[in-house]
Amino acid sequence: MHGTGVPLLTPFDDEGDLREDDLRELVAWVEDRGVDFIVPCGSNSEAELMSVEERNRVTEIVADEATVPVLAGTGHPGLRETLRQTNLAAEAGADAALVITPFYFGHDDATLANYYRTVAEESPVPVYLYSVPVFTDVVLSPEVVGELADHDNIAGMKDSSGNLTRLQRERARTEDADFDLLVGSGNIFAAGLDAGADGGVLALANVAPERASEIYRLQQGGHGAQARQLNARLVELNRAITAEYGVPGAKAVMQARGAPAGAPRRPHRPVSDEVRDELAELAQAAEQ
């Protein structure tokens, strides 16, 4: 998985049911705007608000519609559920599995390493580590990442810590392995690419897939300064759809752009009209 990946939003109706036709349309919408791979059932997809069966159905639809690689989120707090979800994703046609760190209970480094080795050994598709401490309060150490990078069926990692130093330390420990290091924070996408990352999985790629993809193309084309300048222009939009207003904010921006993003699932609530206007202005500014 190289380039710009999108942790695809999941369109629900006002009752919280999946809008399958809208999901199919959404896959085409982001592909037409330049993303390199699609990640269904990630954090921005509201995966933790879906059942195993619902997540599987989302993955089936995305895998059926996509013409780019599919990296399906399959992680749960427990091993058994993760293995079940990962096998289902493989059967649905996903190319690889993105497995979040086990959360709720605390685990030491040895336990986390053992968990990922077990998942990788049982998984029929390549496994990508997923560290998102803002949601899980779990951090994969660079030492554990380096250790796991040598496993034949662990293909990479999404680091959503937003910590550039940690990303650099992970790259230093995996540079000799066949291991895709993916930036998970839109604020440091260009800087992460400069540090040796292979791409990113960005909430920003939902609302501004053209711009997120352009950052990658500029950096790969040797125009690092332009990539960083473009990234800087997108920081306020990225902050608004992540730390400030989250998934409901991202869906509001996509709706303003004509994408069938649907409603957020409860306990999320739609943003206010005032916030919607604020987000529309940020999205418009990002296009200039």
Given the residues 115, 116, 128, 130, select the one marked as catalytic. 130
Of 115, 116, 158, 216, which one is the catalytic site residue? Answer: 158
CB 165 within 8 A of CB 185: no
Helix axes 224-233, 209-220, angle to 10 degrees: 160
CB 162 within 8 A of CB 195: no
User: Which residues are annotated binding-site positions for pyruvate?
Assistant: 201
Q: Are 130 and 98 in contact (CB under 8 A)?
A: yes
What is the DSSP annotation of 168-234?
A: HHHHHHHTTSS-EEEE--GGGHHHHHHTT--EEE-THHHH-HHHHHHHHHHHHTT-HHHHHHHHHHT
Distance from C-alpha of 1 to C-alpha of 68, rounded to nearest angstrom: 10
251 classed as catalytic: no
Residues serving a catalytic function are 130, 158
